[in-house]
């Protein structure tokens, strides 16, 4: 039964069992902290205590000093300390008429400490519930303490406390690579090489299809138009491929533009091309209906016609017959 340091200690009582004689000089009184009607022995769970020296070996025995250094900052520790004083008072009240009572709380360089014996089967964990090997000096932790009993020798009484389990605050130790890289992954795909298992016809295919074609289908673009666009992209050199980009290097260059022999792009118009064009007279010429470019009032500037607008107008002009 675990007695938590926040529990109401008034419902617990200390039961002293029959005295056990080991030699003419040493006797032992087993103790049990329990509640009425229960046969379970209580184990105390402490708040965080300071272990200035860690586990110390003295011959074949191991002990640890637990300090109440943080009492002024931790109300739970102050409460637990008062419960321990209450146990000391109970023992004093029962045995002080026959024996000298030696307190288990000692004044040291690190405030008041209680020295407890380390159990041979002690289990130690860190705050992540992972087992660790030992308790280092200058450690903080919470402990499970067992009031084993009272030793009696030469008309004096000593308390026997055991440390049966400990949870120690340890520095975090990362076992794997945990950095968040700026590029996310070292293997990247070109924007148009994302694999998809759905074709533009809606059926499953083994070849990868860029995401943009799926979006075109979802937006209601006819399948035939999507197929034509995909075929056009393939002729322009858009291929599905994976490119490994080393961390910190620049992304790969875009695919080269199509050759000049392709009719996909309009021919660039130069000044000499305009000299060979003969315009019709104003009476013969049909002026295309082009809306004037209006001033953008919100942005506060006039936007001239683009190169595409000029090329469109030139295409609509008819040559003058001689």
pLDDT of residue 37: 74
SS3 content of the chain, % helix, strand, coil (to 5): 20, 30, 50
- Per-residue pLDDT averaged across 44-52, rounded? 95
Q: Catalogue the E-assigned strands of 73-138.
A: 100-102, 105-108, 111-126
Euclidean distance between CA atoms 30 and 306, whole angstroms: 99
Q: Alpha helices of the chain — where are they, by DSSP H?
A: 75-95, 211-218, 223-235, 271-275, 307-316
Structure-block tokens of residue 178: 């945990």
pLDDT of residue 253: 64
The pLDDT tens digits of the residues spanning 202-249 come to 444 444 545 678 888 888 888 888 788 887 777 766 554 444 545 555
pLDDT of residue 285: 56
Spatial CA neighbour of 10 closest among 32, 36, 30: 36
pLDDT of residue 222: 83
The pLDDT tens digits of the residues spanning 62-117 come to 999 999 999 999 999 999 999 999 999 999 999 999 999 999 999 888 989 999 99
- Per-residue pLDDT averaged across 167-180, rounded? 89
Q: Are 153 and 21 in contact (CB under 8 A)?
A: no
Q: Are 269 and 311 in contact (CB under 8 A)?
A: yes
Residue 188, SS3 per DSSP? strand
Structure-block tokens of residue 270: 């130069």
pLDDT of residue 196: 45
pLDDT class of 12 with cuts at 50, 70, 90: confident
Structure-block tokens of residue 231: 């075929």
- Per-residue pLDDT averaged across 12-29, rounded? 92
Spatial CA neighbour of 208 closest among 223, 193, 187, 230: 193
Has residue 301 got a pLDDT over 50?
no
pLDDT of residue 40: 84
Q: Are 139 and 54 in contact (CB under 8 A)?
A: yes
The pLDDT tens digits of the residues spanning 117-172 come to 999 899 999 999 999 999 999 999 999 999 999 999 999 999 999 999 999 999 88
Has residue 287 got a pLDDT over 70?
no
pLDDT class of 195 with cuts at 50, 70, 90: very low
pLDDT class of 309 with cuts at 50, 70, 90: low
Spatial CA neighbour of 210 closest among 243, 241, 251, 256: 241
């Amino acid at each position: 039964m675990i007695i938590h340091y926040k529990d109401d200690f008034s419902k617990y009582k200390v039961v002293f069992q029959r005295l056990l004689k080991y030699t003419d000089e040493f006797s032992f009184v087993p103790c049990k902290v329990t509640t009425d009607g229960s046969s379970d022995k209580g184990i105390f769970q402490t708040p965080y205590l300071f272990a200035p020296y860690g586990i110390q070996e003295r011959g074949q025995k191991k002990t640890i000093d637990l300090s109440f250094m943080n009492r002024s900052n931790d109300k739970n520790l102050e409460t637990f300390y008062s419960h321990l004083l209450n146990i000391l008072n109970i023992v004093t009240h029962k045995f002080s008429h026959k024996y000298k009572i030696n307190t288990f709380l000692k004044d040291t360089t690190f405030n008041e400490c209680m020295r407890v014996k380390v159990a041979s089967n002690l289990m130690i964990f860190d705050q992540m519930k992972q087992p660790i090997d030992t308790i280092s000096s200058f450690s903080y932790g919470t402990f499970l303490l067992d009031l084993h009993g009272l030793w009696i020798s030469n008309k004096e009484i000593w308390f026997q406390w055991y440390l049966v389990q400990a949870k120690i605050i340890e520095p975090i130790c990362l076992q794997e690579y945990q950095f968040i890289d700026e590029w996310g992954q070292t293997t990247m795909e070109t924007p148009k090489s994302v694999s998809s298992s759905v074709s533009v016809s809606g059926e499953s295919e083994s070849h990868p299809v860029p995401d943009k074609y799926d979006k075109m289908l979802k937006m209601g673009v006819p399948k035939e138009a999507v197929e034509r666009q995909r075929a056009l992209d393939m002729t322009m050199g858009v291929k599905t491929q994976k490119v490994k980009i080393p961390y910190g290097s620049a992304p790969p260059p875009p695919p080269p533009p199509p050759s000049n022999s392709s009719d996909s792009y309009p021919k660039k118009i130069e000044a000499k091309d305009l000299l060979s064009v003969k315009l019709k007279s104003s009476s013969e010429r049909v002026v295309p209906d082009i809306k004037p470019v209006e001033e953008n009032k919100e942005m506060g500037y006039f936007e001239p016609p683009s190169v595409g607008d000029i090329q469109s107008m030139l295409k609509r002009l008819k040559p003058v017959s001689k």
